[in-house]
Chain A
């Protein structure tokens, strides 16, 4: 008997609110339908009614978890239109903020992934350590989220030389924590059994569905805007891009953990670069935005963000097009989740990168009498029970 599991209506577990309908046959997911639009706020239209400086703040409000990615891509687009170069100090600061955001976003994901497979300790731990990343961001920008550090032509705030050692120490303290998480994920046989071979996205499917970011890199596609099309300070620093080949949830987790080490590496190089640059030189003045068009890209924690700006010479953009990474990544669930059992569906859908605000809105509905059988909590419980069972098996 075929049943439908609606995940939504407007807040499933993903970053951007969508509505998933899982068609299940017994325990197996046979099809998935995706509907979006529940979080539509008309940002592209709003940004054509604001002047260029205000748009930086408006696009920051697209997403709270990657709240630097959108301003980053937007200022890249406007600077592409203007054809200007920004001071090196500003470039370093931009990259530092971008990488700190990647750290907090990946830690957040790791915690939620732990929660979905029944490791609530991992959830609490990684959110606890995420606080120290938030503290660094608060130290630099004055706010825990929505840092408002970017402006066209530079950054709004400098990282002074008194701050640098403190930030350096706080960042390097995180490495021990990543070691712990890496050990916890890599060495635990239960996690191996639970995540390996689950939600596999093959390289062919990944190319077909145009996935980006860690989702693509876990499927063996070596893409990263930071290296392929360097912007800000990414052309001036050394870093590796971890690529794994299996495309399952395990690899998606490992790619994110390895990426956090690279982020620390980038931040350290940027901080030592900052020490050499004269303080205070953090922006190029922009008086006038000429007619024309520009594109900007940024490697957000979830993948490539793309912004397009068209100007007619007035103080407002006439067209502002935004493409966020989850839009592509979410569609890949269509192949990753199909053929899985329901108890694996939670973590498979979450592997693309989940968002919290949604976890209580799933029900399994029996088509015959329209009665709710399972809710999202039950799904998580199912998932956690499976882990528990595996744990007991290993204990024997």
Chain B
């Protein structure tokens, strides 16, 4: 097991990027850190800079004013960086698919490693999604 992978599995640090969400997914993400679910006990922590992050959590629909920023953030992230799309909007734009202000899906701008659908996904679903991602990493050859 390589050093990078070993350290990744121990503590995934998360950067949260709300594109243009309705705040619901963001609340649920924060909820996973508060006493009822308390993800921090597994070493998962929200960080303030993408340069410290292993996971880029994306919520909401990209719009013309902010879709470039997702691209820049992904480019700035130290690799390996896994993009996780949380919520229906980030997975496939939901009701905003036909909006005049939504140029593209999240996965057309940056490669998405895991999709967590739901409007909003429950905190349990978000935890489940991250755990699945960790398991995939664990079983990967490199």
Binding site for B on A (CB under 8 A): 9-11, 15, 17, 37-43, 45-46, 49, 57-58, 61-65, 67, 108, 123-125, 127-128, 131, 144-146, 355-358, 360, 375-377
Contact = CB atoms under 8 A, between A and B. Distances in A.
Interface residues on B, range: 35 or more
Interface string B55-95: 00001110101100100000000000000000000000011
Most buried by A among B27, B49, B66, B69: B27
Contacts of B20: 10, 17, 38-41
Given A61-B94, A128-B35, A41 B99 contact: yes
Contacts of A356: 23, 26-27, 30
Contacts of A9: 66, 69
B61 to A, nearest CB: 6
Contacts of A65: 23-24, 27
A10 B65 contact: yes
Contacts of A357: 16, 18, 21, 23, 26, 59
A167 to B, nearest CB: 20
Contacts of B22: 61-64, 67
Nearest to A378: B48
B95 A57 contact: yes
B101 A42 contact: yes
Interface of B: 16, 18, 20-28, 30-31, 34-36, 48-49, 59-61, 63, 65-66, 69, 94-96, 98-102, 119-120, 122
A135 to B, nearest CB: 10
A10 B17 CA distance: 10
Contacts of B16: 357
Contacts, number: 109
B36 A131 contact: yes
A207 B25 CA distance: 34
A145 B123 CA distance: 11
Contacts of A43: 99
A64 B48 CA distance: 23
A11 B22 CA distance: 12
Nearest to A355: B23
Contacts of B34: 123-124, 127-128, 131
Contacts of B122: 144
A45 B99 contact: yes
Contacts of B21: 39, 64, 357
5 contacts: A37-B65, A57-B95, A128-B35, A357-B16, A377-B48
B53 to A, nearest CB: 11
Contacts of A124: 34-35
A360 B99 contact: no
A10 B66 contact: yes
B55 to A, nearest CB: 15
A51 to B, nearest CB: 13
Contacts of A17: 18, 20
B49 to A, nearest CB: 7
B24 A145 contact: yes
A41 B96 contact: yes
Nearest to A126: B34
A356 B59 CA distance: 13
A15 B100 CA distance: 23
Contacts of B35: 124-125, 127-128
